[in-house]
A and B are shown apart, each in its own frame.
Chain A
Amino acid sequence: MRWGSAWPSAAGEARGRSVTVGVLALQGDVREHLAALAELEIPARPLRRPTDLAGVGGVVLPGGESTTLSLLLQSGGLFEPLAAAIAAGMPTLGTCAGLVLLAQKVRGGRPDQRGFGVLDCTVLRNGYGRQVESFEAAVELAEPLGGGSMPGVFIRAPLIESVGPEVAVLGWASRPRDGARHPVICRQGNVVAAAFHPELTPDRRLHRYFAAMVASCEFVAARPKRGAGVTPVNAAG
């Protein structure tokens, strides 16, 4: 696996460089991601407008409602520049709704729901059931994340039904309903996503892994063109 060496020591981290990570801050558990990055001493800032992307070297798509996030990304003009940056290789971490936004195929979503489609997998929205079936369980980690397990908080979580050949599975967990084992952390290129919420528990391994990706890749987003892609929300009435 060509990115296996990103853990545990990242070249960029060793050189002491600091790249700023942007956390999409339109809705959801933004504060927990900012706090997780702060714990690791990674400079981070909220992303709300297209201009906030300037100088950002990585992005986190937090937990929240993916339908709401998809809509706000488009109305606020962040969708196009963010899609371009992710396609160009900006390291990206998505959790829960963030995974839904990154997946190529989404089942159980809304037909008009737009995502970035950069992670070759099929996810079923709320595939573990309604809130009464939300659960905590240990996530088994693959070698690149250090092996062993980490706590997983699954909240109306998307179920990863299948992954493509280019995707590395970095974590697994069983669905309580039927005991079926499914991937819950996936990586393809510079995109890593989890079906659960590592930001809600103290284990920082996934954030550290992502920080190492950011540090080693030296991607910095350009400042978007002035006025690019801001759609007035009331235009359609």
Chain B
Amino acid sequence: MSEHPETTAHTGTFQVKRGLADMLRGGVIMDVVTPEQAKIAEDAGAVSVMALERVPADIRRDGGVARMSDPALISAIQEAVTIPVMAKARIGHFAEAQVLQALGVDYIDESEVLTPADEAHHIDKWPFTVPFVCGATTLGEALRRISEGAAMIRSKGEAGTGNVVEAVRHLRSILGDIRRLTQADSAELYRWAKELGAPIGLVQEVARAGRLPVPLFCAGGLATPADVSLVMQLGAEAVFVGSGIFKSEDPARRARAIVEAAAHFDDPEHVAKVSRGLGEAMRGQELSALGERLAERGW
């Protein structure tokens, strides 16, 4: 291609895709619906923002079909901040993903928060230059998404509820099975692959490394600094906070406190200090009061 083949550059490699996820570790990715909210998030120390038309709590309230956001909104948010901007595509909707890539978003979330576009297939993420994050509730689901090309996994939790219980369930399931895999012998790994519905190569890799081959973040129902400390002590490497910030009484202050809690998640005195006087958290919902579980979308 060039006179100096050794200086040829390669974009969209898996190293480059998961590399951005690595750089976000220890940070907070915040859902925003306006450029002003994006600025507040960046001012508070967010490592990235997720550009949306509605936060999950409102999607849940409004019902109807939830789709990719208006490109004009995404571009306005890209203009407003210097940190990476993510956006959501519907599960299986590769054309929405193509549009988001054309807009130059930094990460695509193939998200169960939007209404799925395909009942059997997730997007084949390998042909894309832009990296993808996907939700998972179990290790098998996480490995299937990675086999399709996801460069970051997040727990699904139950978005828009302000209730951390599902995120904890998903993290414990994924991390507990990883710990069990590391104890399995080589013959047992084949059975694990069958039961997880995941490629044996990835199962062997996880067993060897004791962690997923991509960063594992936590999403779905986080509302307080202590929630962030909890999931990061359980093993999440960073957090997504959706409705929890801009549905609270004092978003700027809560956002700032949540960033501090992510950086100092294992220092209870620091978490105590930043948790003082934050005002009302988002209202939150008992899971038994929910209609549809978003986490059940995807396969």
Task: Determine the chain A residues whose CB is within 8 A of the CB of B26 once the complex forms.
Answer: 25-28, 30, 64
Q: A131-B16, A234-B256 are in contact. List 9 more A-B contacts (CB 8 A).
A: A76-B264, A131-B131, A133-B11, A153-B16, A153-B19, A155-B16, A174-B9, A176-B11, A200-B22
Residue A48, interface by CB 8 Å: yes
Task: Determine the chain A residues whose CB is within 8 A of the CB of B264 once the complex forms.
Answer: 48, 76
| CB nearest neighbor in A for B27 | A27
Task: Determine the chain A residues whose CB is within 8 A of the CB of B131 once the complex forms.
Answer: 131
**In the complex the two chains form, is B84's CB within 8 Å of A131's CB?**
yes
Min CB–CB distance A157 → chain B (angstroms): 10
**12 A-B pairs whose Cβ atoms sit less than 8 Å apart in the complex:** A29-B22, A65-B83, A71-B259, A72-B259, A76-B263, A130-B106, A135-B16, A136-B9, A176-B11, A233-B260, A234-B273, A234-B276
* Total interface residues in chain B, CB < 8 Å: 47
A68-B47, A131-B107, A132-B11 known; A126-B82 Cβ under 8 A:
yes
**In the complex the two chains form, is B101's CB within 8 Å of A72's CB?**
no
Within 8 A of B (CB), among A101-135: 108-110, 125-126, 130-135
**In the complex the two chains form, is A136's CB within 8 Å of B16's CB?**
yes
Residue B296, interface by CB 8 Å: no
| CB nearest neighbor in A for B274 | A233
Task: Determine the chain A residues whose CB is within 8 A of the CB of B260 once the complex forms.
Answer: 72, 75, 233
Residue A45, interface by CB 8 Å: no
Residue A138, interface by CB 8 Å: yes
Residue A149, interface by CB 8 Å: yes
Complex partner residue of A68 from B8, B105, B259, CB under 8 angstroms = B259
Residue B127, interface by CB 8 Å: no
Residue B199, interface by CB 8 Å: no
A26-B263, A72-B259, A200-B19 known; A65-B27 Cβ under 8 A:
yes
Please measure, in the bound complex, the distance between the C-alpha atom of A40 and the C-alpha atom of B106, giving whole angstroms: 34
**In the complex the two chains form, is A153's CB within 8 Å of B15's CB?**
yes
The 4 closest A-B pairs by CB, nearest first: A131-B106, A176-B9, A27-B26, A137-B9
Within 8 A of A (CB), among B9-25: 9-13, 15-16, 19-20, 22-25
**In the complex the two chains form, is B20's CB within 8 Å of A110's CB?**
no
Please measure, in the bound complex, the distance between the C-alpha atom of A25 and the C-alpha atom of B265, giving whole angstroms: 12
Within 8 A of A (CB), among B234-259: 253, 256-257, 259
Min CB–CB distance A104 → chain B (angstroms): 19
Task: Determine the chain A residues whose CB is within 8 A of the CB of B12 once the complex forms.
Answer: 132
Secondary structure call for the A interface: loop
* Total interface residues in chain A, CB < 8 Å: 51
Min CB–CB distance A83 → chain B (angstroms): 19
Residue B45, interface by CB 8 Å: yes
Min CB–CB distance B258 → chain A (angstroms): 11
Task: Determine the chain A residues whose CB is within 8 A of the CB of B214 once the complex forms.
Answer: none
Residue B42, interface by CB 8 Å: yes
Within 8 A of B (CB), among A210-237: 232-234, 237
Name the residue among A149, A176, A233 with the largest chain B CB count within 10 angstroms: A233
Min CB–CB distance B277 → chain A (angstroms): 7
**In the complex the two chains form, is A134's CB within 8 Å of B253's CB?**
no
Min CB–CB distance A154 → chain B (angstroms): 8
Task: Determine the chain A residues whose CB is within 8 A of the CB of B45 once the complex forms.
Answer: 67-68, 71-72
Please measure, in the bound complex, the distance between the C-alpha atom of A171 and the C-alpha atom of B17, giving whole angstroms: 24
**In the complex the two chains form, is B6's CB within 8 Å of A68's CB?**
no
**In the complex the two chains form, is A64's CB within 8 Å of B23's CB?**
yes
| CB nearest neighbor in A for B10 | A136
**In the complex the two chains form, is A174's CB within 8 Å of B82's CB?**
no
Residue B267, interface by CB 8 Å: yes
**In the complex the two chains form, is B20's CB within 8 Å of A136's CB?**
no
A67-B45, A200-B15 known; A132-B259 Cβ under 8 A:
no
Min CB–CB distance B39 → chain A (angstroms): 10
